[in-house]
Amino acid sequence: MKRLTRLLAAWLLAGFLTYPAVAGPGDEEGSTLQIAGIAIKDGVVELSVGFAELFDWESIKFVSAKTFPNDPPWFPPTRHELTFGHREVGIMEWFQFDYIEIGNYEVTEDFTVEAKLFGRKKIVGIFNPETNLLNFNGLDYKPMVKTPTFTVKSSTDFKSWKKGSRLEEVDKEYQWGQSMAVRFKLKSTEQKFFIIQVDED
């Protein structure tokens, strides 16, 4: 399986609370890494990283912005979920409460999908890039994608790179189109360069 690697370098000066950074191009057209912000506080560096993935119906899980009471009621609230082509291209799954509806779907435009669930009329879903929400059957859904595998490395001279061992755990998923926080402890106050290496299968 072909392995793609994307690198992103950021220059941090310890002691500053924030410092701008510039990202390089990604491996694919329209796929880049971006640092939206950098902060250093109490020895912890926080990079706000945007993966800028292409919009792909089949790789996104849509989770309702609204929560619903669960059964039994003392369980945490639940959310509706939509997936398109996760198990098989052309097949959609719609999880609601404690049951799943299955049907066929077709992407008619970049941000429009038509779904035909068994026993239902056709439902048109429209994704709005400005609000970053999918409206489906009158309910808004957030686009969630799997967090890629990545490592953070540091260097003082751009020659010798050391893998960071104090990286805080990150969420398994993040909202498509938005930045994700990557946090790690800074051992020393010397000037360092950091690389975020993202591996994709």
**Which position has the higher pLDDT, 24 or 32?**
32
We report the CATH number of the domain holding residue 138 as 2.40.128.640
List strands edge to edge, sheet with 149-155.
4-12, 192-200, 149-155, 162-163
What is the overall mean pLDDT for the chain? Answer: 78
Residue 108: domain span: 57-144
- Does 137 lie in the same domain as 64? yes
**DSSP 8-class letter at 105:** E
pLDDT tier at 33, thresholds 50, 70, 90:
low
- Does 27 lie in the same domain as 69? no
- Across the range 33-58, mean pLDDT stands at 78
- In angstroms, the CA 135 to CA 111 distance is 11
Q: What percent of the chain has pLDDT over 90?
A: 37
**Which position has the higher pLDDT, 101 or 23?**
101
- Does 167 lie in the same domain as 187? yes
Supply 122's token pair.
């056709």
Range of weakest confidence among 15-24, 42-51, 171-180, 187-196: 15-24
State how many domains the chain has.
2
What pLDDT score does 183 carry?
A: 83
- Does 138 lie in the same domain as 152? no
